[in-house]
Structure 1
Amino acid sequence: MSRPNYGGLDWLKFAAALMVVANHTSPLLSYSATADFLVSNLLSRIAVPVFFMTAGFLFFRKLTGNSLTDRIALRSYMLKILKLYAIAVLVYIPLNVYTGYFSDPFTIYTLLKDIVFDGTFYHLWYLPASIIGFFIIYSMYRKLSMNATLAWAGLLYIMGLLGDSYYGIMQNSNGLVHIYEGMFNVFDYTRNGLFYAPIYLAVGAWAAKQPISVRTPFANAALFAVSLVLMYVEGILLHSEDIPRHDSMYIFTLPATYFLFQWSLQWKLKANKTFREWRVWVYILHPLAIVLVRGAAEVTKLEQLFITNSLIHFIAVCVVSIGMAAITVWLMTVSRKFR
């Protein structure tokens, strides 16, 4: 049997990494606040779910059902994420110092809270969320049916929605508000490994155990487009009523991500390990690229071009991020040869 080709997933994840950059740079803000909202605050919200869903799919498709070998595979995967997280935390310590992270009200408690849930820099939450989410879904996967796992993960997501984009609907329920305010003493957002990651990992795991989709590429593309439009409607309505506390979690992000994921499996593109590794480092290094682009623009007196013009700023940050990612992957490849 020929080995499956997941080149489409590689391209999708790379595009998702650039969507994360868009979320943090607002590429269309200089031209239209509305257009930028649709891209930076809505479309980009598919990016991290893509990471989680594809990770769940690729990990769970490899499991054999043997508890010992599966636990070894999980431990190996967790250690890989933990190592990456530790490197990322160290990389951003200088910026943490520059931004005053270690000044008041910094405490050991806030540090532990950030390490476990929120990340020590604004984008690093994804890595501990992956660890927690995988632990939750793997534990459910071993003890429950797939349908029960999806149901429990869905319930966690609903709880997360109430602390995120649907927070405002609880304002008449003091009891629920107090519960969530208590939660926010432990973590800053419900888009974390407890409430956000599990459903996307679970759907990826479920997809890994299903037969190949019989839908045509056009059907998956159409279903993605319909789901995306519904997500746009959802996001616009919620924001128009000032309901979100944060806006990372939407109901229709789930079907939009799923159909985009299924569609990407049908793209006839060649898989590329180097390209895949670039995506990881684009995600990790892009905030550093933002600082470098802004700093270089100020030194060269080109702020009007590379900072004020949001689209050129976004493109410059993408180029620098990709360049830094390519250099990092090259250095890692070279270092492996001397081990």
Structure 2
Amino acid sequence: MSKPNFGGLDWIKFIAAVLVVANHTGPLLTYSGTADFLISNLLTRIAVPVFFMTAGFLFFRKLTDDPRKNRQALRGYMLKTGKLYAIAILLYIPLNIYTGYFSDSFTPYSLFKDIVFDGTFYHLWYLPALLLGLPITVLLYRKLSLKGMLAAAGCLYVAGLLGDSYYGLIQGSNGIVHAYDGMFTVFDFTRNGLFYAPVYLALGALAAKGKPPARTPFANAVLFAGSLGLMFAEGSLLHAAGMPRHDSMYVFALPATYFLFHWAMQWKVRSGKTFREWRVWIYILHPIAIVLVRGAAEATNLEGLFIANSLFHFAAVCLLSVGMAAAAVWLIAISRKFRPARALSSRLS
């Protein structure tokens, strides 16, 4: 049996990582506020859902009817992700110090909130969301049918919407607002592992365990484009009405992510392990690249080109992020080569 080709998923995750950079740099802001809003505030909102759905697909496709092996798979995945999160936390301690993270407002409780829900730097929330959302989704998968799992995760997502882009809908209900205000003392946003991640992980589980949809690549592309257009309209209307408390969660992000995923599964492209690992490190390292680009521009008096010009700033951050990611992957590969030698040396000593 031939090994399945998931090159399309690797490419779409790479594109999603670039979209995350766009979300944090505003590439078109210099030229058009409206165009930048559509790119940086709306299009980029399908990036993290793509990460979650592909993570769910790749994890759940490995599950079997053996509960013991499934528990081992979950523990292994959580341990691997937890190690990555710990490394990321340590990497950002210098920037945390620089930005005043450890100020008077820093407490053991605020640290707990950040580690479990919000991330210790603004982009790191994805990793605790995955660490919390995956066990929740696995529990739903064990207890419910595929449709039931998706429905339960969808209910969590609806609750999250009301604390995010649809927050304005509950403004007239003091009881509900107070309930959400109480939740916001535990976490800053509902785009977290409790409300946001499970539905996309469940969509990935459905893709892994359900019957594959019989659609052509063209059909998936058209459905993705239509869903994305509806998400653009949804986001624009919500912002015009002043609804969002935050703007990470949209209803039409669900079908847009779903159809994009299945379209990417049909791409006849190749990738490799190294390229796959680049995507992870682009995501983790790009805020450092933003700081380095700004610092270098100020040191060389090129602020007008690489800071004031948003498109050049975005391009420079992308290039530096890719370079830093490649270096990180290379260093990790080198360290792996020395591990067997160290292990053998310790056994012989």
Distance, in Å, in 1 between the alignment partners of 2:267 and 2:212 is 13
Q: What is the number of residues matched between the two proteins? A: 339
What CA distance in whole angstroms lies between the structure 2 residues aligned with 1:107 and 1:13? 35
Say if 2:282 and 2:321, in contact at 8 Å, map to a contact too. Answer: yes
Find the counterpart in structure 1 of residue 317 from structure 2: 317
Aligned position for 2:265: 265
Distance 2:161 2:81 in 1: 26
Structure 1 Cα separation of the partners of residues 338 and 150 of structure 2: 45
Specify the alignment match of 1:34 in structure 2.
34
Q: Deviations over 1:284-330 (max 9, x none)?
A: 00000000000000000000000000000000000000000000000
CA separation in 1, counterparts of 2:329 and 2:319? 15
**Aligned residue number for residue 84 of structure 2:** 84
Q: Give 2:109's aligned residue.
A: 109
Matched, 1:185 2:185: yes
| Aligned mates of 1:35, 1:3 — CA distance in 2 | 41
**Shift, 1:140, TM fit:** 1.2
1:147 corresponds to: 147
The alignment's TM-score, normalised by the length of structure 1, stands at 0.99
Q: Could you say which residue in structure 1 is the equivalent of 2:343? A: none
- For 1:69 and 1:163, how far apart are their aligned partners in 2? 37
Percent identity over paired residues:
72
Whole-angstrom distance in 1 between the partners of 2:258 and 2:145: 20
Q: Secondary structure at the match of 1:270?
A: coil
Counterparts of residues 286-325 of structure 1 (less than 5 Å) = 286-325=286-325
The one-letter amino acid paired with 2:79 is L
Aligned to 2:44: 44
- AA of the residue aligned to 2:282: V
Distance 1:212 1:237 in 2: 34
Say yes or no: does 1:25 pair with 2:40. no
CA displacement at 1:255 relative to structure 2: 0.1
Residues 8-39 of structure 1 deviation map (CA, whole Å, 9 limit, x = unaligned): 00000000000000000000000000000000
SS of aligned partner of 1:247: coil
In 2: Cα distance, 1:262 partner to 1:149 partner: 20
Amino acid in structure 2 at the alignment position of 1:323:
G
Counterpart position of 2:243: 243
Secondary structure of the 1:64 match is: coil
State the Cα deviation string for residues 231-251 of structure 1 (Å, max 9, x = none).
001000000000000000000
User: Is 2:146–2:210's contact at 8 Å kept on the other side of the alignment?
Assistant: no
- Determine the structure 2 residue equivalent to 1:165: 165
SS of residue in 2 equivalent to 1:338: helix
Deviation at 1:3, TM superposition (A): 1.1
Equivalent pair of 2:7/2:271 in contact (CA under 8 Å): yes
Moved over 4 A (4+): none
Q: Map residues 191-202 of structure 1 onto 2, 5 A cutoff.
A: 191-202=191-202
Q: CA RMSD for the aligned pairs?
A: 0.6
CA distance in 1, matches of 2:271, 2:298: 39
- CA distance, structure 2, for counterparts of residue 65 and residue 31 of structure 1: 55
TM-score with structure 2 length normalisation? 0.97
Gaps of 5+ in 1: none
Aligned equivalent of 2:130: 130
* Aligned counterparts of 2:142 and 2:157: Cα–Cα separation in 1: 20
Offset, 1:271? 2.8
Aligned equivalents of 2:210, 2:152: Cα separation in 1: 19
Unpaired runs of 5+ residues, structure 2, are 340-349
Match of 1:332 in 2: 332
TM-aligned CA deviation for residue 338 of structure 1: 0.5
Contact 2:129-2:194 at 8 Å conserved across structures: yes
